[in-house]
Amino acid sequence: ILNVEQSPQSLHVQEGDSTNFTCSFPSSNFYALHWYRWETAKSPEALFVMTLNGDEKKKGRISATLNTKEGYSYLYIKGSQPEDSATYLCAFGNFNKFYFGSGTKLNVKP
Amino acid sequence: EPEVTQTPSHQVTQMGQEVILRCVPISNHLYFYWYRQILGQKVEFLVSFYNNEISEKSEIFDDQFSVERPDGSNFTLKIRSTKLEDSAMYFCASMWWGRTGSSTDTQYFGPGTRLTVL
């Protein structure tokens, strides 16, 4: 079983703050790293698929970077809004199988 | 927008009973998955399914579990004789994966079925 770790476990920020969290994964046999946004009582929603070392992806105020050689990915949220409150999951794997981190639970206070 | 659906949303069963969890993946997707999340733990991979057969399965997916795509639209997970420790949220996911060598496709998840074994 491969170990995928996310930190911090939870984060409380004020509206307007920028924040970032980390996903660590094994640096060998890299295939893809997925980021998901998961709101309570809903399905996890795909944010990014990261495949190449040095990848940077952006979707509105959310962006992600990837370092496959050292085995980490960062997710950044610029100017957090209350609607950004959710759990952010990363998953490492290939098309056959994915290993998930435990998630970072973000709470943005108005 | 197409979505993955799962039924039922909540299933309560007695230990030792068989349960079938149902999923309808997105219609043109080719890869299908089951995951579970025991309360307070990580989402765990159970099985992937492609071209009408299991592609990969985890050590959790023992002989008590089986998957089927009976009619070209549904994708089911059967647990033959449920145990207390099978209580969890079960998520189905699907992915297109229509292009050889492509790694940029993403999984689409259903809302989950909460299984409670008493």
Report the b/e string of B16-54 with b at 16+ CB within 10 A: eeebebbbbbbeebbbbbbbbbeeeebbbbbbbbbeeee
Please list the ranges in chain B whose pLDDT falls under 70: 97-104
Residues 11-40 of A with CB under 8 A from B: 31-32, 34, 36
Share of residues in chain A with pLDDT > 90 (%): 80
Chain B CB within 8 Å of residue A46 CB = yes
Q: How far apart are CA A2 and CA A94, in angstroms?
A: 12
- Beta pairing class for A32-38 and A10-14: unpaired
- Beta pairing class for B53-57 and B43-50: antiparallel
Chain B CB within 8 Å of residue A52 CB = no
Higher pLDDT, A108 or A52: A108
Query: What is the pLDDT, as a whole number, of residue A8?
Result: 96
Higher pLDDT, B88 or A52: B88
Query: What is the pLDDT, as a whole number, of residue A2?
Result: 77
pLDDT above 90 for A83: yes
Query: What is the pLDDT, as a whole number, of residue B105?
Result: 79
The per-residue pLDDT for range A8-33, each reduced to its tens digit, is: 999 999 999 999 999 999 988 888 99
